[in-house]
Structure 1
Amino acid sequence: MKLKDEIASLFERLEGSFDVHETPTGHQKRFLEKLNQQQPKTVKPTINYWKWGSIAAAIALLVVLGGSLFAPQSSTEADLASVSPELEQTQSFFTATITTEIEKLKQFESPEHQQLIQDALIEVEKLETEYQLLKKDLVESGYNKQVVNAMILNFQSRITILENVSETLTAIKTLKNNTNETYL
């Protein structure tokens, strides 16, 4: 009931302000002509290009990925493991040793040793970058023994750097412990 009273009072307030004039003659005809001029006469079937483009792209991606999975691998780089089983064991040994030495260095991490450790890791990273180039050279040279020797030397250099820093840090720690001891 209350809603009907509100609506009735609204119409009473707005009475006389409604536009009740007749539209001019020919208004509807002119409106329809303008409307027809804006719309094309023939209705073209709508093609959802995004939908078909997405489907085509997905198919192309599947073809490329499927082709690369089943195509023979022509690698532009190889590591020691691809030369022989013995060198694969050698590579595994070197990699494990490098990982172990890096873990040893992490045990020494402190503000006073940070610069020494960081410098060593930068040198090891440089050698790793050189190793990546050697991997490419190995394929290009046809698995040349000199390149294999250079790769082994690279691993040995990384291990030597890490071992030297580890020994230096151990010596510093021992020296500090000895100088801080109290004698009775």
Structure 2
Amino acid sequence: MKKDTIEQLFDGLQGQLDVAQPSEDHKANFFAKLQATAVTQAPEPVKTTSLNWWKPLAIAASVLLLAGIFWTQTAGISNEGNLADVSPEMEQTQDFFTQTIEKELSEIRKKSTPQTREIVESAIANLAVLENNYKKLQKDLIESGEDKRVIYAMITNFQNRIDLLQQVLEQMNAVNELTTLEPARL
């Protein structure tokens, strides 16, 4: 079946195909042209790429070395002025106060309602003021060389933050109680 179609194809192309024989010197002419192009186009030399990885590697190693030296020189110096830098006891005091503040804040977040939103926003603004005061005290601690008055002021600042948060919790509880009692009266 396929044989018939191929035969029909060739019968249809009769007279259109190039069936002329090449000349006798066709092969010689082809090889002459091939050699002529080979002579004019000299082979390109093979480029050997030497890996110059050592230069970028040396630069990177130098940068890392300088960064390491800088880090080790500044690691022992604390510019924050935290209570924890004064003594191990002050570190425990600071940890206690920060944990207590975080606990009070999480409790405020849990108990926050739309009715207590203004109280919470006011407390956050007051906490920001106390935090700014604490940052000033940290600078004073560095400048004063661990003056006891500055340390006491920092501890008082922590206590003021905790007192503020406890007052906010009490106010929130009072507002929440009032909102639960009002529907019961109606």
TM > 0.5 fold call: yes
| CA 1:133–1:25: 2 relative to 1, 3 Å | same
Structure 2 residue ranges without an equivalent (≥5) = 1-12, 19-25
Instruction: Note the 1:38-57 alignment, pairs <5 A.
Output: 46-49=50-53, 53-54=56-57, 57=60
Aligned length, in residue pairs: 163
Structure 1 residue ranges without an equivalent (≥5) = 1-12
Counterpart CA distance in 2 for 1:102 and 1:144 is: 30
Identity rate, percent: 31
8 Å contact from structure 2 (residues 112, 120) kept in 1: yes
Counterpart CA distance in 2 for 1:162 and 1:150 is: 18
TM-score by structure 1 length?
0.64
Aligned residue for 2:115, secondary structure, equals coil
Give the structure with the larger helix fraction: 2
1:159 aligns with 2:162: yes
Corresponding position of 1:9: none
Corresponding position of 1:107: 110
TM-score by structure 2 length?
0.63
8 Å contact from structure 1 (residues 76, 139) kept in 2: yes
Counterpart CA distance in 2 for 1:158 and 1:71 is: 32
Corresponding position of 2:94: 91
8 Å contact from structure 2 (residues 134, 154) kept in 1: yes
Letter in 2 for 1:91: Q
Please give the per-residue CA displacement for 1:36-83, whole angstroms capped at 9, x wherever unaligned.
Answer: 5xx69xx6661333x652465257526744774588712212322332
Counterpart CA distance in 2 for 1:45 and 1:91 is: 61
| CA 1:156–1:44: 2 relative to 1, 3 Å | same
